Amino acid sequence: MASAEGFTPARDASELIARLRDRTAKLAVVGLGYVGLPMAIEFARAGFSVTGLENDPQRCEMLHDGCSYIADIADEELRAEVRSGRFRATTDPAALGEADAVIICVPTPLRKSKDPDLTYILAATDAMTAQLRPGQLIVLESTTYPGTTEEILLPRFAEKGLKVGSDFFLAFSPERVDPGNPNFSVRNITKLVGGVTPACTQVAAELYRQMVGTVVQVDNPRVAEAAKLLENTFRSVNIGLVNEMALVCRHLGVDVWQVIEAAATKPFGFMAHYPGPGIGGHCIPLDPHYLSWKARLSGYEPRFIALASEINGSMPRYVVELVTESLNDQSKAVRGSRVLLLGVAYKPNVGDFRESPALEIIEMLHERGAHVSYCDPYVPGLSIGEHELRNEELTAELLRSADSVVVLTHHRDFDYDLVVRESRQVIDTRNATRPFARPGTVRYL
């Protein structure tokens, strides 16, 4: 069976593995977002011919012009792989049929009911099914509930009459990215791989060994799927615990930041987590709900996860309460007051504001009649309801004009000495201003 270009597919696992090892295998990455684009570029750097499948034609044009829309991929890095011919982007799903290995990196959001929304996975699976041929490896990287690979992808692929583990290979390998982290990238983060059959695991592991330093094989896709959810549920639960500790400490008149610092001096049995205005990003706020939903289908109600989610979800409202108290101390009402937010991204030094608690805080402040502005050099603009906000330059004049200044994201770009010196009152949810604080000027979470 040969393609229109005369390409002959691999006949079995050993032949596919050989092509992966000598870099003659063609790869395709479905979805060129925060996960897919860095993955595609790293495989191209490793010497593979990589085609990225992206629904947005404008994104494809940008990529072909060497313009990256992902902060972790510099324009120069992208241009090098485009010029070399090792990377290209397309909207044509026919590219999937020409690939030896296909990696699916599409979003997995939640519905309003907090149930998994597999729309993007289903669309990618249907596109792959239409192009599936013998000798291909398909790996799902999108975070999802345990069982998705075998319950959703496998039956659709099997409709083609091909046998998994011999005619084609299917595995799950969870994405592990930390946008904005200069110390960890796709290349040096350990990769988990779980295949539907041992042969599937072997082939998928060989794919990632060509680019990633350490690959760990697990028994099946369900283990890998559950491991990913545990990683982020662990963080959600521990953040929920320390957020509740912040509330407890407030009632006790104790500085929670000093409590954490003191507890962290213990060399064993304690891992420091820190409170904040809420949780954001695409993983921690969403992934525990995937695990909870699947558990409930199996007849078990995971109460601990739900409680952590409830506490974390309450933090934006708590921040608004702190703003209200701060304004009361100035004999001001929230309505008509000027509130300046420092940082609206969900984490430091990135422009990603998906699920950021700042969005909910802004919305609640608007509902109470406040005039809200923000400074965030990584986020040029925001649209929240009927309100359009633009990033403002952090100046002494802007700080002095605000009735309340709230630190939501600990960006390295902010001059916290200036913030404390020029602000009437600061509410610091990140402990960022501690070295510059003067008595009575800063309230901490």
- What is the DSSP code string of 66-91? T---STTS-HHHHHHHHHHTSEEEES
The gap from C-alpha 345 to its chain's centroid, in whole angstroms, comes to 12
Tokens of residue 230, six digits: 């545990």
| 200 assigned to active site | no
How far is the CA of 97 from the CAs of 3, 28, 35, 125, 316, in angstroms? 8, 9, 22, 13, 47
Instruction: Count CB-CB contacts under 10 A for residue 331.
Output: 6
Degrees (nearest 5) of the Cα angle 302, 248, 405? 105
d(CA 234, CA 224): 15
Contact 39/147 with Cβ under 8 angstroms? no
d(CA 7, CA 358): 51
d(CA 277, CA 363): 14
Helical pair 303-329 and 357-367, crossing angle rounded to 10 deg:
50
Catalytic option among 60, 105, 283, 375? 283
| Positions marked catalytic | 283
